[in-house]
Amino acid sequence: MPVYFKSQNISTDLRLLLDSLAVKGQALAMIDFRPVGYIIGLLVAALGLTMLVPFAVDFLSGAESAGTFALCATITVVAGGLLTLSTANARLDSLSLQQTFLLTTSSWLVLPIFGALPFWLGEPNASYTDAFFEAMSGLTTTGSTVFSNLDTLPKGTLLWRGLMQWFGGVGIIVVAMAFLPTLKVGGMQIFRSEGFDTIGKVLPRAGQIASSIAVVYLLLTVACVFSYAAVGMQFFDAVVHSLTTVATGGFSNYDSSFAGFGGGVEYVATVFMMLASLPFIRYVQMLNGSAQPLFRDSQVWAFFGFWTLLVIGMALFRHFDAGAGAEGAFRQSVFNVTSILTGTGYASTDYGLWGAFPVMLFFLMGLVGGCAGSTCCSIKIFRFQLLAAAIRSQIQKIHSPNGIFTPRYQGRRVGEDILSSVMAFFVAFMLTLATLTIILGLLGLDPVTAISGAATALANVGPGLGEVIGPSGNFAPLPDSAKWVLSAAMLIGRLELMAVYVLFTAAFWRH
């Protein structure tokens, strides 16, 4: 008798085998998708309701695209409402780890599908590929665009681009503070006790964080609007650019981005891009009467120190190498360095023409990003701090093999699980960047466009390098296949890679 039979009775062995398969199938079926569907339905319906804002703007201005926004709002609200009603019996008191991963990724995948409708059905009458690319770029606050002649688009369309980035900015703060620490993605668990009680149920915690952050986010946006208006920007432009500045998104109402504005506008943009790059939890603590956490946050000091070195170095290079005036060199340097470092993606000039050194520096600084818990993207400054702490600890161990050296972050010991998570993130980021570059090369893109396109999408920065997707170009000339690849890269990068990759593992669906 074959060795895999556990008894002398073949029928008994077959029954045991079938029972085992039934148990495994039941385990797979135990994943309850209803809470995920219910929440996504609510988010889709809310997205549809916000389409009424650009509808009102176009309706009042007499633009024909008002009807398009009304239609898209109806489709989106109905779709979201039906999904919510069909999953209304879901239990929302708690989410499992699987459900949290699914919700985090699915939200950023589903919302651009509906956010693209106004671009597809109305002006600029884009193909659905271009419309989805623009919507994904907006909601992930990447800022890459496929649209030209922005100056001629209806105000409602321009406002919709800004609103998507604004909602994406506040959404990623909530995800970063409520979900990613729980999911232990990329070392984010180090912030599990930062300002909010992160022990307990995910949804109530997300609601608490969202309500607290929204106040700060809104106040910062309003302050940015009036600051832009005070230095001469027209009110509508001030509103839209404030939405995309605070979100560090980078969508502008003009093909030339900030090139047509005065110097005062660039300084205002720089200030608010920097403010949006700091941990929003620190602002909440300041409103509650405690400013010390902001000034004691090591990632804030590291970010400002790195930014200062970049600005001074670039300004000196522009002044002595290009012969630019002192004020002009400083203004162009501080604005464009801040824009790329924070992942906003505005441009006041074609810095691709500044020479090889600035171009390479802009490429590398785009891979750094701002602080965790902000609207910024890319790798984040705290991961570089943890990497440096780990390297320093290893060097100390080489010098003193019998010594005990533990990496520290803000005076606290860093556990091996956090370091392993950060190292895995760095490796995954570089491997993903290399893979995307190869795929884009196979799709016909030249090396500069492929490398910078992969980097800017994965890091959610916005403009790339070169004549095609550089600060003076856009992503419209790329083939549709490349746009879908870059759209996927934006999603993966915005959700810190691992939150997406875990869905493609068999273990995730088994347990």
C-alpha distances (whole Å) from 83 to each of 31, 32, 39, 197, 336 are 18, 15, 9, 31, 43
pLDDT confidence band for 2 (50 / 70 / 90)? very low
User: Looking at per-residue confidence, does 399 or 23 come out higher?
Assistant: 399
Residue with tokens 């593992």: 505
Calpha distance 105→11 (Å, rounded): 45
Please say whether the dihedral angle defined by the alpha carbons of residues 467, 471, 472 and 478, taken in this order, is positive or negative: positive
Most confident option among 186-190, 220-224, 387-391: 220-224
Q: State yes or no: pLDDT of 11 exceeds 60.
A: no
pLDDT confidence band for 27 (50 / 70 / 90)? very low
Q: State yes or no: pLDDT of 7 exceeds 50.
A: no
Q: State yes or no: pLDDT of 393 exceeds 60.
A: yes
Contacts of 30 (CB under 8 A, 6+ apart): none
Under a CB-based contact definition with an 8 Å cutoff, are residues 263 and 233 in contact? no
Q: State yes or no: pLDDT of 119 exceeds 70.
A: yes
Q: State yes or no: pLDDT of 204 exceeds 70.
A: no
Peptide bond connecting 124 to the previous residue in cis, omega within 30 degrees of 0: yes
Residue with tokens 């779709």: 79
pLDDT at 278: 94
Under a CB-based contact definition with an 8 Å cutoff, are residues 263 and 331 in contact? yes
In DSSP terms, 412 is beta-bridged to: 409
pLDDT at 192: 65
Q: State yes or no: pLDDT of 6 exceeds 60.
A: no
Mean pLDDT, the chain, whole residue set: 88
Average pLDDT of the segment spanning 265-283: 95
Range with the lowest mean pLDDT among 19-28, 305-314, 334-343, 369-378? 19-28
Instruction: Provide the 3-class DSSP secondary structure of residue 426.
Output: helix
Q: State yes or no: pLDDT of 157 exceeds 50.
A: yes
